[in-house]
Amino acid sequence: MAGFQVDPDTVRAAAPGLRDCCDEIGSAAGLVNSVSLPAAAMGGVDAAGEFAAAVRTLVSEHGSDLEHGALWVDDAEEAVVKAAESYEEMDRQAVDRFTRLLGE
């Protein structure tokens, strides 16, 4: 049976990078959501209102996608921290069991 060893500190060290990524994606969502193309800015272009509405829809959808992505990365960051804590707890429990078993 092949084994593996997990270092909780190494696992936990990934969390800040995920937090930074979440923040960057959130910032990108804010930037995308701020894009605006008023129909009046296009002057007398035919169907300017329809085009402006299409741009608003596109921007809204992509901004929403980025916001959801930021939430998913935030969830991943929380999961990494919880995984590190879980590994530490399992190690503590194993040490406690062996200590009791050996009567130390």
Assigned domain for 63 exists: yes
4 belongs to a structural domain:
no
Residue 90 lies in a domain: yes
How big is the CA angle at 49 (ends 45 and 51), to the nearest 5 degrees? 80
- Structural domain span for residue 55: 11-37+45-102
Full-model pTM: 0.77
* Count of domains for the chain: 1
- DSSP code at position 58: H
Domain membership flag for residue 82: yes
What is the number of other CB atoms lying within 10 angstroms of the CB of residue 94?
Answer: 10
Q: Is the residue at 3 inside a domain?
A: no
**How far from chain centre, in Å, is Cα 12?**
15
| Secondary structure letter of residue 42 according to DSSP | G
Instruction: Please provide residue 21's backbone torsions phi and psi, each rounded to the nearest 5 degrees.
Output: -65, -45
Per-residue pLDDT of the chain (104 residues; tens, 9 = 90+): 466 688 899 999 999 999 999 999 999 999 999 999 999 998 888 999 999 999 999 999 999 999 999 999 999 999 999 999 999 999 899 999 999 998 86
Residue 2 lies in a domain: no
Rg (CA), the chain: 25
C-alpha to C-alpha distance for 91 and 64, rounded to whole angstroms: 41
